[in-house]
Chains A and B, each alone.
Chain A
Amino acid sequence: MRKALHGGALTDATRAAVSTRLATPQVIEPRFFTSESLVTLRAVCARLVPQPHPGAVDIAGAIDTRLADGIGDGWRYDAMPSDGEAYERGLVGLDETAREMSGGAFIALSGERQDAVISAVEGGSPAGATWRSLPARRFFEDLLAEAIEAYYSHPLGQEEIGYLGLADAPGWQLIQLGERHPRETPPVIGEQPHHDG
């Protein structure tokens, strides 16, 4: 499968963490969201964080798992409800905005129109009753941050940007500008079908 996972460049602890993430199956039966809201969340995440192989990293599933397990990151904006409630209401709000702007549910819209809905939420005063009591900008920011963190903590997201820091078991000796170890020549992690960019 993956060279680096089998090579000596990863410590046991790192290999265990990365393998677990790679092996995590897509969430089919959500434990926190309803099936419908998980579909909406998937659609939003696909617009926020595009993937070379769409859907390869299950960002929405990772959010569902975190909320179902009751794991937080240690803080929230005082003006926001609990993370779970913010997500539930925010997804309802997205559909409201989508209907107001384009006459259909978020998932029914074209990518371009979905982007317009997201931009309206990002802008802070989107159409829709939900946003009168849920700060839209804060919701957007928290969602975007979590989606980005989920994607770039996944080996596929890391491979896309050429991050190889995980292959540090032998240490790094060539650390100056422009210096590279042979193992830093991509792709180290995968023999995934290669993509442009």
Chain B
Amino acid sequence: MLTYSTDATVDAVVIGTGAGGAPLTARLASAGLSVVALEAGRHWAPARDFATDERAQSQLFWTDERLSAGEDPLAFGNNNSGIGVGGSTLHFTAYVPRAQHDDLRLKSSFGVGEDWPLSYGDLEPYYDELERFLGVSGPSSYPWGPPRTPYPLVPLPLNGAAQLMQRGCAALGIRTAPAANAALSGSYWQAGVGWRAACTNRGFCQAGCSTGAKASMDVTYIPLAIGHGAEIRSECFATRIEINSAGRATAVVYVHQGRETRQPCRAVFLCGGAIESPRLLLINRLANRSGHVGRNFMAHTGLQVWGRFAEEVRPYKGIPGALISEDTHRPPDADFVGGYLLQSIGVMPVTYGSQVARGRRLWGNALSAHMRGYNHVAGINILGDCLPYAGNRLELADERDARGLPKPRISFSNGANERRLTAHAERVMRDIWKRAGARDVWAFPRNAHIIGTCRMGTDAASSVVDSDCRSHDVPNLHICDNSVFPSALAVNPALTIMALSLRTADRYMQRLGREGA
């Protein structure tokens, strides 16, 4: 790996190496820029460091304490926040559906929420490129959304939960398809990355893939970036962005092994995720002339419905999210704005047990009896819209963490729309499980993914970045991660974040060519 001196001014410093940070690091480096990417976590060697053990793999989660407030306080850590080179893609489930046209036009369609200042056409070439580069496995013809190029790899095999959901959906006339997963159904070669081996169905995506089959950033865009001359500085926690009198960013200050270091640069790309990016801006009192940093916080409605079946499911095997339906993208009988998708899910025992604790409060002999049914459990999950509300936001608390920085306090309450959407979904999922033959069906309400705290928009008074993810206030500061989403989308976010990341780099390079800035 090429390294850069902290005495020299590099072209770009990227903060965070997850879905938002890694693709643009590779893109900028491949255009010949000198790029240093700072990452708070470690640079893992998955085959050596990743155990098939949920507790050991808690090493992948962001554990600096966050305060959860509101009526529906959110769980962080393993629910949504990763640390390490690759960010939350280290433990994402690899589910990568595209957004649809109307996902980006919520306000135009329903009169509430926000439109994106981008269209599907702006994202489509990047979706195509990403699916090819990551090696996405998916069905040969996808039943929903606009016509599209076929997925490069055949679908991953369906596991027990997927078969059961297929059975229940077929009985109800709900269409299903094998899901698009950024995990390889066959070994795959990419220039700049080399060979990656096929998925071995170990079902452990949410706690780290030890085989490299899952297209987390550490085995895809990071090696590509390094090959193009980027330097990845792991275990470096960014604390300050320095601004000169002209209002431009000039350096990033970070802490490595307790020592503060300063890296001068010509541009900053802040990609710390939808909690850490706004937190860093608020701590630095930066890029917030709109007062919108930390506002518009959203979290997908993510109800899970579990059932117990006579058959053995053994929910630890196979890619966890193997089957999808988007028939509920805009349900005809909806009494809510937006929509949701349905996916089958497998589950690991500690994750399941934790939900049984928080969702069912089973203890004593009732708990033991329930848990002994683990091998017969299958789940369905939704991923649904969430509107922005004034009260849902991130602020800095007075309390400080071990680094001496103010802890973030995140207030979150589902609104009437999320409650109606969730009730609709619960009816549908219970029907599916009933038709599939489930007993002891129960629902675990939850919200997943952290979205929207540095919203993208055309109006500088009500948004933080423009459609190129460039700060309205600081011209050489870009923010690119889940925080810039103006609306939540009725699909999982990672593919769209990566698309924005590549696009942000391309737009920046175009501007650099034109204006030299």
Q: Measuring CB to CB, which residues of chain A are less than 8 angstroms from any residue of chain B?
A: 10-14, 16-18, 21, 47-50, 70-79, 115, 118, 122, 140-141, 144-145, 147-149, 151-153, 157-158, 160-166, 168, 170-173, 175-178, 180, 184, 197
Contact = CB atoms under 8 A, between A and B. Distances in A.
B313 interface: yes
Contact of A17 (B56, B65, B163): B56
B2 interface: no
Contacts of B409: 78
B49 interface: yes
B373 to A, nearest CB: 8
Contact of B210 (A13, A72, A161): A13
B68 A50 contact: no
A72 B317 contact: no
A168 B54 CA distance: 14
Interface in B405-438: 409
Interface string B155-175: 001111001100000000000
Given A74-B66, A149-B353, A49 B78 contact: no
Given A118-B363, A152-B350, A177-B163, A78 B73 contact: yes
Interface in B67-110: 67-69, 73-78, 81
Best-buried of B311, B317, B372 by chain A (most CB within 10 Å): B317
B53 A175 contact: no
A178 B50 CA distance: 28
Interface in B312-357: 312-314, 316-318, 348-350, 353-354, 356-357
Interface stretch (B197-205, B253-261, B441-449, B486-494): B197-205
A141 B358 CA distance: 6
Contacts of B76: 74-75
Given A72-B65, A73-B77, A164-B314, 17 more contacts: A12-B48, A13-B47, A47-B364, A74-B78, A75-B74, A77-B68, A78-B67, A79-B69, A122-B361, A141-B357, A152-B349, A153-B54, A161-B349, A161-B371, A162-B375, A171-B200, A172-B203
Contacts of B61: 73-74
B53 A14 contact: yes
B364 to A, nearest CB: 6
A18 B56 CA distance: 9
B63 A72 contact: yes
Contacts, number: 185
B5 interface: no
A17 B368 CA distance: 24
A157 B56 CA distance: 16
A161 B157 contact: no
Given A141-B361, A171-B201, A171-B202, A163 B51 contact: no
B365 interface: yes
B55 interface: yes
A173 B200 CA distance: 8
Contacts of B64: 74
B371 A152 contact: yes
Contacts of B9: none
B312 A180 contact: yes
Contacts of A79: 69
A47 B364 CA distance: 6
Given A17-B55, A141-B358, A73 B63 contact: yes
Contacts of A49: 363, 367-368
Given A77-B73, A153-B53, A71 B63 contact: yes
B56 to A, nearest CB: 4
Contacts of A171: 200-202
A76 B67 contact: yes
B203 A165 contact: yes
Contacts of A177: 160, 163-164, 311-313
Nearest to A118: B363
B374 interface: yes
Contact of B200 (A70, A147, A161, A168): A168
A171 B63 CA distance: 30
A94 to B, nearest CB: 14
B116 interface: no
B239 interface: no
Q: Which 10 A-B pairs have the closest CB atoms?
A: A74-B77, A171-B200, A165-B316, A17-B56, A78-B69, A17-B51, A75-B76, A145-B357, A153-B55, A13-B51
Contacts of A178: 160, 311-312
12 contacts: A14-B51, A16-B51, A72-B63, A73-B58, A74-B64, A74-B65, A78-B409, A149-B357, A164-B314, A175-B159, A175-B201, A176-B163
Contacts of A149: 55, 350, 353-354, 357
A161 B164 contact: no
B52 interface: yes
B316 to A, nearest CB: 3
B281 to A, nearest CB: 20
Contacts of A163: 316, 349, 374-375
Contacts of A144: 357-358, 361, 363
Contacts of B67: 75-78
B254 to A, nearest CB: 21
Contacts of A71: 63
Nearest to B409: A78
B237 interface: no
Best-buried of B157, B160, B202 by chain A (most CB within 10 Å): B202
Contacts of A148: 353-354, 356-357, 367
Nearest to B73: A77
Contacts of B375: 161-163
B151 interface: no
B62 interface: yes
B318 A172 contact: yes
Nearest to A150: B55
A50 B58 contact: no
B353 A172 contact: no
A168 B372 CA distance: 21
Nearest to A79: B69
Best-buried of A47, A71, A122, A149 by chain B (most CB within 10 Å): A149
